[in-house]
């Protein structure tokens, strides 16, 4: 290969590697921001359930006991949502969660009839926060890096490896493995962080479990 062609290839490789580095940094930032969002919503769910559990004390005794029991059952289902990996079990958990949400809202809205208007708004507002927090969590778990971004990352990675290997001397073949290995580790790490239910780096329901331990001890 002539000097002119070699210089052009080096320029093309530099541009491709720069683009690849930017794409990996962008994808990593997207994955981490989504992971942080899932962690924040887990904390918000625990706060919403704990707050409503306290607000339910303002209800008549029978209504308060019913809402408390439903909230405890609901809390157990939310913990299972975070810790379960089976798709079949997830569908069952979601169905049970929806059922409990309807029962909690019905129990709360029926019990507040005996309360003055400001207090009923206070209790129902807390229940609304409980229901909304679950919806926000589910939306965050659906929010993933787009498949188009993954395709672009993979294509640019293949192109960079091809350009590096195209004019590499045979005696340096061992060093050609460094970039594919580094890229594989980077992409697998990004995919792991971006996956809410698969892999090693997962959101643990620490706040929900701490709340459950506190409520079940009462």
Q: Do 141 and 196 form a contact (C-beta atoms < 8 A)?
A: yes
pTM of the entire predicted model: 0.85
pLDDT tens per residue across span 68-114? 999 999 999 999 999 988 888 999 999 999 999 999 999 988 888 87
CB 37 within 8 A of CB 104: no
149 class by beta-carbon count within 10 Å (0-12 exposed, 13-18 middle, 19+ buried): middle
Read off the pLDDT of residues 16-36 as tens digits, 9 standing for 90 and up.
888 899 999 999 999 999 999
């Amino acid at each position: 290969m002539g000097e002119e062609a070699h210089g052009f290839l080096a320029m093309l490789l530099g541009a491709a590697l720069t683009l690849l580095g930017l794409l990996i940094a962008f994808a990593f930032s997207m994955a981490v921001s989504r992971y942080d969002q899932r962690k924040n919503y887990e904390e918000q769910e625990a706060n919403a359930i704990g707050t409503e559990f306290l607000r339910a004390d303002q209800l008549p005794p029978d209504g308060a006991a019913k809402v408390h029991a439903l909230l405890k059952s609901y809390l157990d289902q939310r913990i299972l949502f975070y810790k379960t990996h089976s798709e079949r079990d997830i569908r069952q958990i979601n169905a049970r969660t929806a059922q409990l949400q309807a029962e909690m809202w019905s129990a709360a809205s029926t019990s507040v009839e005996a309360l003055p208007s400001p207090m009923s708004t206070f209790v129902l507002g807390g229940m609304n926060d409980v229901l909304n927090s679950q919806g926000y969590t589910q939306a965050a778990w659906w929010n993933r890096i787009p498949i188009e971004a993954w395709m672009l990352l993979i294509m640019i990675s293949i192109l960079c490896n091809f350009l590096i290997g195209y004019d590499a001397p045979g005696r340096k073949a061992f060093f050609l493995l460094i970039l594919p290995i580094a890229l594989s580790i980077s992409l697998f790490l990004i995919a792991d962080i971006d996956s809410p239910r698969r892999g090693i780096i997962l959101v643990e329901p620490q706040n929900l479990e701490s709340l459950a331990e506190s409520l079940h001890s009462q």
